[in-house]
Structure 1
Amino acid sequence: MINIKVNIFQMKSKPHGIDRLHEFIFGIKEDNFSFVAIGWPGIGDLTSVSKDEIRERLEKKYNYKGQQLATYLGAVNAFVNTVKKDDLILISNNLDQVYVLEVGEYRYVKNYDNDTDGMCHQREAKLLIVLNKADLNKELQELLRNRGTITQFKYPFEKSGLEKWLKPDDSTLNINLSELVSKSLSVLEKELLSDDSMTRIKAATEILRYEKENK
């Protein structure tokens, strides 16, 4: 059952510059849970850490100053301290699909605190539904246009229009995961034809990783 007092956020799926949407939705094989994450490795466990302390760690690790510091501090603090258990995170992909996830408490995963993975700041997540962006009202579409790592919906839950899809009696919705996998792989296949060599390499790596994990 969705609590109408929850807050809503849009989030990007590229912690530390790496697209992790597939991992967010389907989980990582060894962990077997869905989650969301932000980047900024190297600043340690942020459990119960204040905004001022986060600022100091970002300055020390990344040498951020001025507006850059303010922007990144806002993102990290929002994910760690502003988002609460049971809040909703919306993530869109390049197929104009919007994933609506219900999140848990902040947690620090030390194994991913490195420049290769870059996703140690996490929240466990439950996929509730996948919607077409065009079906959302103008307020949510405005939220999703934000380019920031994470942005809070400035209106109350009722203004989102999500209640029509997230009714109390069907909060556990049937998600056609096989269809989502197929569409995701189709996108990767198209990227194999990209003129950019790095895009081709990343796409091939993701396809091979998926095949290995699902044998």
Structure 2
Amino acid sequence: MNLFYIQSSIGGISKVKSYLEDHYVGIPWSGLGDLEQVPTESAVEQLQRHYHLADGELSEAVETVHTFVHLIEDGDYIVMKDEEWMFIGDAGDYYYDDSIGTNDDLICHRRGVTWLGRVSLAEINKPMRTLLNEPKYIAQFMLPVTQAQLDQALRGTDGAADTVLTETTEHTANGTLTENMSVRVEQATIEAALEVLKSALQSENEQLRVQAATAILQYAKS
């Protein structure tokens, strides 16, 4: 398992709200098309011609594309930040969503994310602070993931076995992200939720089955 930091702003616009609400993260250059189907040479040519990238910018873009599509794997940790919090998630597969177009302000290159929780930036350790200061779109945590101490942060300091940290997000009337709250869930509630997820594994809806399996596996890892 690896850990990657991904920028939460693209083109100067924060994507934290949509990433949290819609359970994904992404990278720019939507006009490249589905990157699983586009050869690297074609992607480089389009980055040069369509996005006018060259030299260092081109090299960084190619590295970002390669990391996002090929190096990040299902089950890896993803972190992003806003002004106060670091959000921690479990990465899913890459997919290309051009259902509403491929304009440069749209995010078509995506990875699904199961958000696990958040930690105050004031409470993260030095290696994670270094990672979150990386200027690249995507940066990999090069130390063993255990040194990020994410499990301890998500579980809190008491290590209680009968609680799990979950995220809730509240919004103002105009849809602005205003607050994220950590909620302690009792063991009986967790067991009931697991039974619901187990039932969902038998659903005829493939997406529902995948989501249920992802949630169960993530709970098993925690």
Structures share fold, TM-score greater than 0.5: yes
| 1:151-203 Cα deviation digits (max 9, x unpaired) | 1111111121112135696896322323xx3695459xxxxxxxxxxxxxxxx
**3-state SS of 1:118 partner:** coil
Deviation at 1:58, TM superposition (A): 1.5
Aligned 1:8-19 pairs, distance under 5 A: 8-19=3-14
Match of 2:68 in 1: 79
Match of 2:110 in 1: 122
Residues 124 and 83 from structure 1, CA distance in 2 versus in 1: closer, same or farther, beyond 3 angstroms?
same
Q: Is the 8 A contact 1:25 1:35 kept in 2?
A: yes
Q: Is the 8 A contact 1:97 1:131 kept in 2?
A: yes
**3-state SS of 2:65 partner:** helix
Alignment of 1:142 onto 2:130? yes
Unmatched 5+ residue regions in structure 1?
1-5, 28-33, 188-215
Deviation at 1:55, TM superposition (A): 2.0
Deviation at 1:74, TM superposition (A): 1.3
Quote the Cα distance in structure 1 between the aligned partners of 2:152 and 2:81: 19
Q: Is the 8 A contact 2:30 2:103 kept in 1?
A: yes
Match of 2:166 in 1: 174
**3-state SS of 2:36 partner:** coil
Deviation at 1:46, TM superposition (A): 0.5
Quote the Cα distance in structure 1 between the aligned partners of 2:109 and 2:140: 18
Alignment of 1:37 onto 2:26? yes
* Corresponding letter in the other structure for 2:15: R
Identity of aligned residues (%): 25
Alignment RMSD (CA, Å): 2.7
Quote the Cα distance in structure 2 between the aligned partners of 1:107 and 1:20: 18
Quote the Cα distance in structure 2 between the aligned partners of 1:38 and 1:10: 12
Quote the Cα distance in structure 2 between the aligned partners of 1:14 and 1:41: 15
Residues 150 and 118 from structure 1, CA distance in 2 versus in 1: closer, same or farther, beyond 3 angstroms?
same
* Corresponding letter in the other structure for 2:130: E
Q: Is the 8 A contact 2:67 2:138 kept in 1?
A: yes
Match of 1:103 in 2: 91
Quote the Cα distance in structure 1 between the aligned partners of 2:129 and 2:90: 19
Quote the Cα distance in structure 1 between the aligned partners of 2:122 and 2:72: 26
Q: Is the 8 A contact 1:128 1:171 kept in 2?
A: no
Please give the TM-score of this superposition, normalised by the length of structure 1.
Answer: 0.71
Deviation at 1:105, TM superposition (A): 0.5
Q: Is the 8 A contact 2:73 2:93 kept in 1?
A: yes
Quote the Cα distance in structure 1 between the aligned partners of 2:10 and 2:27: 5
Alignment of 1:161 onto 2:153? no
* Corresponding letter in the other structure for 1:156: P
* Corresponding letter in the other structure for 1:146: E
Residues 50 and 135 from structure 1, CA distance in 2 versus in 1: closer, same or farther, beyond 3 angstroms?
farther
Q: Greater share of helix residues, 1 or 2?
A: 1
* Corresponding letter in the other structure for 2:165: L
Q: Is the 8 A contact 1:12 1:91 kept in 2?
A: yes
Corresponding residue pairs, total: 173
Q: Greater share of strand residues, 1 or 2?
A: 2
Report 1 or 2 for greater relative contact order, CA contacts < 8 Å, sequence distance ≥ 6: 1
Residues 17 and 77 from structure 1, CA distance in 2 versus in 1: closer, same or farther, beyond 3 angstroms?
farther
